[in-house]
Amino acid sequence: MESIYFLPSTCRIHNVNKYRTLNRILQICKIVFMSKSQSKQYIDPESLSLFRQTFWEKCKASGITLEDLAERTDLSYIQIFRIVRGKNNTSLSNVMAVIKAAEFQPFEIFTFNIEIPDYPPLRKYRQDKKLPKSPGAIFYLRAYIENGVFEGKSFTPAEFKNLVNSDLDSKFSDKDFSVAFSKIFNGLQDKNPLTRVQEGSSYRYFLLSEDDKDQLLSDKRKMKRTK
């Protein structure tokens, strides 16, 4: 439903068309503001063009049509056309889908060279104190939970610190993740995906089972009713 912006009562508008025009202007301003506030999507037209050219030439040499690709991927012909012969951005998942559908291997397609920009040295070789910092420990904890790292596993903060530091070559401390685990565990019940058991002076954290989640929600409803 379209948003309607009402002007202050001190502004008297007698002409309905003027009123609608002003509301339309405000609506457009809202759209422009929102679009500017959103993150810019990265697109590499040159690499996309090289991929599409190489892939399509190989398809034609093998007698593979866009209809064949659409049939094998369960994507529509229009989607396939945009992936293979279009100009706009596409995802790696789409690229891999059409490569598989054509029964090619990635190394058969990515045979072209790309131009490497003149980047600054790696961060470890720079002494600039104003380098942007990486996100905090709680970001990585939430991200790894979403990525399924806790499926069938459990971690103490120290074990999880070792995992992240090894994976990302970072330098978190035990305390960083001890605080991060505590913040998530002690947060809102319907936002906390973890349970824990005491282990020495620390805790071992597990993913909540579906039954545990249902029980927490049930307890929360009971608490609301008793208030």
Whether residue 28 sits in one domain with residue 80: no
Residue 107 reports pLDDT greater than 70: yes
Residues 123-165 pLDDT 10s: 888 877 677 778 899 999 999 999 999 999 999 999 999 999 9
19 CB-near residues (< 8 Å, 6+ apart):
7, 13
Same domain flag for 32 and 53: no
| CATH code for the domain of 221 | 1.10.10
- The reply to whether 103 and 177 lie within a common domain is no
Of 25 and 74, more confident: 74
Total domains in the chain come to 3
In this predicted structure, the answer to whether residue 48 has a pLDDT above a threshold of 90 is yes
Q: In the structure encoding, which two tokens stand for residue 190, read together?
A: 């319907």
Regarding whether 222 and 141 lie in a shared domain, the answer is yes
User: Can you give the residue range of the structural domain that contains 204?
Assistant: 137-226
pTM of the model: 0.63
* Average model confidence (pLDDT) across the chain: 82
CA distance 170 to 163: 10
Query: In this structure, what CATH number is given to the domain that contains residue 97?
Result: 1.10.260.40
Q: What is the pLDDT of residues 174-204, one digit of tens each?
A: 999 999 999 998 876 567 888 899 999 999 9
* pLDDT surpassing 50 at residue 92: yes
Residue 219 burial (10 A CB sphere; 0-12, 13-18, 19+) = exposed
- Are residues 76 and 22 part of one domain? no
Say if residue 144 is in the same domain as residue 97: no
The radius of gyration computed from the CA coordinates of the chain, to the nearest angstrom, equals 27
Give yes or no for a contact between 189 and 177, defined as CB atoms under 8 angstroms apart. no
